[in-house]
Amino acid sequence: MSKRTLRGKAAIAGVGETPYYKHGKAPVSEFKLALQAILAACEDAGIDPRRIDGFASYSNDRNDPSRLAAALGLPALRFSNMNWGGGGGGGSAAVGNAAAAVACGMANCVVVFRALAQGQFQRFGAAPPGGAAAGEAALNAPYGVMSPAQRYAMRAMRFLHENHIEPSAQRAIALASYRHAQANPRAVMHGRPLTAEAYDASRWIVEPWRLFDCCQENDGAAALIVVPAEEARDFRQPPAYLLGSAQGSEYRNGARGHNAPLYATSSFTTVAPQLYDMAGVKPADVDVVQSYENFTGGVLMSLVEHGFFTAEQANDFLTPENLTAPGGKLPLNTSGGNLAECYMHGLELQVEAVRQLRGQSTAQVPDAEVSMVISGPMVTPVSSMILGTEAVL
């Protein structure tokens, strides 16, 4: 483990969310959603919002930190940070960036946030509007590859084909998420259980993904408050300490025209080893995992790349029983995740990871002490983070 590390230097002291809505149905603006989630996180932490002095986000969030600071009446804005990338790959990176800021003294109380109101803007899951394509889109659009599902399906298809992975493995990921959502009243799919028969009967979106393999599209906001570790005990809730955060992707991962040398990956082959090295834990030490589901195939690939099982073991390991709390071997997406709780561009996964360590989840893993979040499989850059209780430090 390197001496230059974030391990144990910062903690999450508060989490907050708005209600989650179907895309385009939020009753207020995206900016107001962001403020509501930040204020909810402050209430959770038991602090005056004017204690905040920094903001970190990702995926080109439209809510400018200076405007947020003005609306909240902050005495001073000391830190503002955006992780590049249009997908959910920056969710864990944003937490790591906030932790770096408080660890080195650039700020004392940084909010990580993400807000979406797709009724004000374009739907995330739709192909871009307009009659002209430029850049990467110009290489893909002539072949009908325009939506996120179409862009990433080929990478997953290659992985599934080369490793002889059955459809039941992806189905298990979807079923586990929906089972967990039935215990979570915040989940958009609460009260709408999914059966294996309904999954198998659902329409194809693009092979290898059916309807229930694909994430929702939602409006809402989520926020987390990151503080220095030495101050973490002073807040209302038990702290969740950052053990490790890593971001990036492998060699030439972003090569245009689907020319990445390691094509059939979820982009974590170099990121996951960095994460474990910083956190000082092994896959076997992780009690619960929240993995961003853009599509179930990306979750499957990311779990392999984080060392929870090999590709050859995927068919046997990935069953609903193994992925469901409280007794599964690897409880996954215990709030319902992007598939069944909400697609808050993945930041709801960080919120759930904190709740697991506090013992406050609606699908609680007994005695959870190490909690992982995997952000944005198959996009680039991607990121992951590991949280732990004080006992783990």
Respond yes or no: is residue 343 known to be catalytic.
Answer: yes
The reply to whether omega before 273 is within 30° of 0 (cis) is no
Q: Is the peptide bond before 208 cis (omega within 30 degrees of 0)?
A: yes
Active-site entry in 21, 199, 276, 292: 292
Bridge partners (DSSP) of residue 22 are 218
Token digits of residue 159 = 């992985």
Residue 214 is classified by DSSP as B
Angle at 237 between CA 357 and CA 388, to 5 degrees: 30
Cα distance between residue 388 and residue 393, in whole Å: 7
Measure the CA–CA gap between 356 and 19, rounded to whole angstroms.
20
Across the chain, the runs of DSSP E, i.e. the strands, are 10-17, 21-22, 54-58, 79-83, 110-116, 204-206, 209-210, 218-228, 240-248, 288-291, 370-375, 382-388
Compute the distance between CA of residue 256 and CA of residue 274 in angstroms, rounded to an integer.
25
- Taking residue 138's Cβ as centre, other Cβ atoms within 10 Å add up to 12
Q: Which of 21, 199, 276, 343 is catalytic?
A: 343
Return d(Cα 74, Cα 94) in angstroms, integer.
21
Helix (H, G, I), strand (E, B) or coil at 186: coil
Quote the distance between the C-alpha of residue 186 and its chain's center: 17
Residue 218 CA to residue 212 CA, distance in Å, equals 15
Q: What are phi and psi of 240, to 5 degrees?
A: -110, 110
How far apart are the C-alpha atoms of 374 and 349, rounded to whole Å? 9
Start-to-end C-alpha separation, the chain: 14
Query: 178-210 b/e with 16+ CB inside 10 Å = b?
Result: bbbbbbbebbbbbeeebeeeebeebeebbebbb
- Token readout for 132 is 């002209």
What's phi and psi for 56, nearest 5 deg?
A: -140, 135
Cis amide leading into 326 (omega within 30): yes
Q: What are the residue numbers of the active site?
A: 292, 343
